[in-house]
């Protein structure tokens, strides 16, 4: 929680991640299930157990988990499509057509989504308080009409920065700063909320210069650990209101 009302007054805008922060794919709980759904919609059917084995094999044979801000989770379109290539190669798929893998990247935006129960109430309250609301998402451009339909009442389309459109990806400092500029506020007056501790919460503060980074972690309580300054863990989106 913020310690002073002065810090609270600094907050002019709250920006959110999209996937696993405001919305989630229906019926999918794990990254391996997400891959299975994407591959299936791309015309490739593999058993979930085989995908999970390929993912484990990839982890063992790469240094992905050693990256400081990308702990095993690709962020850019190239990183993601390269990851798809690696997994499919381990599954015996050898077609290396760039257009096919770009299509796989877009498919994720077409999977059925649902908002979390606390999404709209939180956005509504922020709107009532006169706080600007935006979104930064490392996503396909195809997600824009989905976002507009789901939360356009609260978040204008020009306040939504999509990585594929801008060719900017979290946790680059430029993407956080560009999003703040779109809302016509200073990064130091922004709060960012996302489900990835490193890319979202820590990235927004240490890379983007945001006032606060909030890590939305809906899992059961964990052993407490220290976070960098101005980074906090929340378990519901409604707790965002405590920092505004």
Q: What is the pLDDT of residue 65?
A: 45
What integer is the mean pLDDT of 160-183?
96
Number of domains in the chain: 2
One domain, residues 13 and 130? yes
One domain, residues 137 and 218? yes
> What is the rounded CA–CA span in Å between residue 134 and residue 158?
9
CATH number, residue 210: 3.40.50.1000
One domain, residues 236 and 139? yes
One domain, residues 77 and 123? no
Assign 59 a pLDDT band (cuts: 50, 70, 90).
confident
Give the residue from 53, 77, 110 where a domain finishes: 110
Q: What is the pLDDT of residue 67?
A: 39
Percent of the chain at pLDDT > 90 equals: 82
One domain, residues 49 and 120? no
What integer is the mean pLDDT of 198-221?
93
One domain, residues 93 and 139? no
Percent of the chain at pLDDT > 70 equals: 90
Task: Find out whether 14 and 133 touch, Cβ atoms under 8 Å.
Answer: yes
Give the residue from 90, 110, 130 where a domain finishes: 110
pLDDT tens sequence across 98-132: 999 999 999 999 999 999 999 999 999 999 999 99
> What is the rounded CA–CA span in Å between residue 112 and residue 61?
33
One domain, residues 166 and 222? yes
Q: What is the pLDDT of residue 241?
A: 97
One domain, residues 224 and 122? yes
One domain, residues 103 and 135? no
One domain, residues 101 and 162? no
pLDDT of residue 16 exceeding 90, the answer is: yes
pLDDT of residue 9 exceeding 90, the answer is: no
One domain, residues 19 and 125? yes
Q: Which residue has the higher pLDDT, 75 or 145?
A: 145
pLDDT of residue 66 exceeding 70, the answer is: no
Give the residue from 110, 131, 158 where a domain finishes: 110
Q: Read off the pTM.
A: 0.90
Q: How many residues does the chain have?
A: 244
Q: Give the chain as a 3 state SS string.
A: CCCCHHHHHCCCEEEECCECCCEEECCCCCHHHHHHHHHHHCCCCCCHHHHHHHHHHHHHCCCHHHCCCCCCCCCCHHHHHHHHHHHHHHCCCCCCCHHHHHHHHHHHHHCCEEECCCHHHHHHHHHHCCCEEEEEECCCHHHHHHHHHHHCCCCCHHHEEEHHHHCCCCCCHHHHHHHHHHCCCCHHHEEEEECCHHHHHHHHHHHCCCCEEEEECCCCCCCCCCCCCCEEEECCHHHHHHHC
One domain, residues 162 and 79? no
Domain limits at 198?
5-24+114-243
């Amino acid at each position: 929680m913020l310690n002073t009302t002065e810090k609270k007054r600094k907050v002019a805008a709250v920006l959110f991640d999209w996937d696993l922060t405001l919305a989630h794919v229906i019926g999918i709980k794990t990254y391996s299930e997400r891959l299975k759904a994407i591959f299936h919609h791309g015309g490739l059917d593999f058993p979930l157990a085989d995908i999970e084995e390929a993912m484990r094999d990839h982890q063992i044979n790469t240094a992905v988990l050693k990256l400081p801000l990308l702990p095993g989770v690709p962020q850019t379109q190239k990183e993601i499509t390269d990851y798809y290539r690696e997994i499919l190669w381990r599954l015996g798929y050898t077609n290396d057509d760039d257009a096919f893998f770009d299509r796989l990247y877009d498919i994720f935006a077409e999977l059925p989504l649902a908002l979390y129960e606390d999404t709209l109430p939180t956005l509504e309250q922020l709107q009532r308080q006169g706080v600007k609301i935006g979104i930064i998402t490392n996503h396909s451009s195809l997600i824009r009409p989905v976002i507009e339909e789901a939360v356009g009442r609260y978040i204008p389309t020009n306040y939504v920065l999509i990585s594929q459109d801008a060719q900017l990806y979290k946790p680059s400092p430029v993407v956080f700063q560009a999003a703040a500029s779109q809302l016509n506020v200073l990064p130091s007056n922004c709060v960012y909320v996302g489900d990835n501790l490193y890319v979202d919460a820590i990235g927004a503060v240490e890379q983007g210069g945001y006032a606060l980074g909030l890590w939305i972690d809906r899992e059961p309580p964990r052993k407490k650990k220290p976070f960098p300054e101005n980074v906090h863990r929340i378990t519901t989106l409604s707790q965002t209101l405590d920092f505004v």
